[in-house]
Amino acid sequence: MIQRLYRSRFFRFATGLVAGAALLAACTQMPQNRAETTAMAATSSAAKPAPAPAQLGTQWGEGIESKTRTVAAKRLSDQPDDVASIGYNDAASVRRDAGSNPERRLNLQLAQGDIEWSVLDENDRPLPLQRARRSGNDMFRLAGVEGARYTLRFRNLSDRSYEVIATVDGLDVLNGKPGSLRNGGYVLRPQQTLNIEGFRKSQSEVAAFRFATPGRAYAANTEAGDVRNIGVIGAALFELEEPSAPRRTRRDASPSQPSAFPADGAYAPPPRYRK
Provide the residue ranges of all domains of the chain, joining segments of one domain with +.
Answer: 20-29+47-260
pLDDT, greater one: 107 or 135: 107
pLDDT digits (tens, 9 = 90+) for 204-261: 999 999 999 999 999 999 999 999 999 999 999 999 997 554 555 555 444 444 456 6
Task: Classify strands 82-89 and 140-143 as parallel, antiparallel or unpaired.
Answer: parallel
The pLDDT-based confidence of 91 (bands split at 50, 70, 90) is: very high
DSSP3 helix / strand / coil % (the chain, rounded to 5): 10, 35, 55
Q: Is the pLDDT of residue 25 over 90?
A: no
Q: What pLDDT score does 17 carry?
A: 32
Q: What is the CA radius of gyration of the chain?
A: 17
Decide if 194 contacts 164 (C-beta within 8 A).
yes
The whole-number pLDDT of residue 220 equals 96
Q: Would you say 25 and 9 are in contact if contact means Cβ atoms under 8 Å apart?
A: yes
- Average pLDDT (46-50) is 51
Rounded to an integer, the average pLDDT of 101-107 is: 94
Cα(271)–Cα(57) distance, integer angstroms: 13
pLDDT score recorded for residue 21: 42
Query: Average pLDDT in the 66-73 region?
Result: 77
- pTM score of the predicted model: 0.75
Residue 47: per-residue pLDDT: 40
Chain centroid, CA 77 distance in Å:
20
Q: How many CA atoms lie within 13 A of 258 on its CB side?
A: 3
* Average pLDDT along the chain: 79
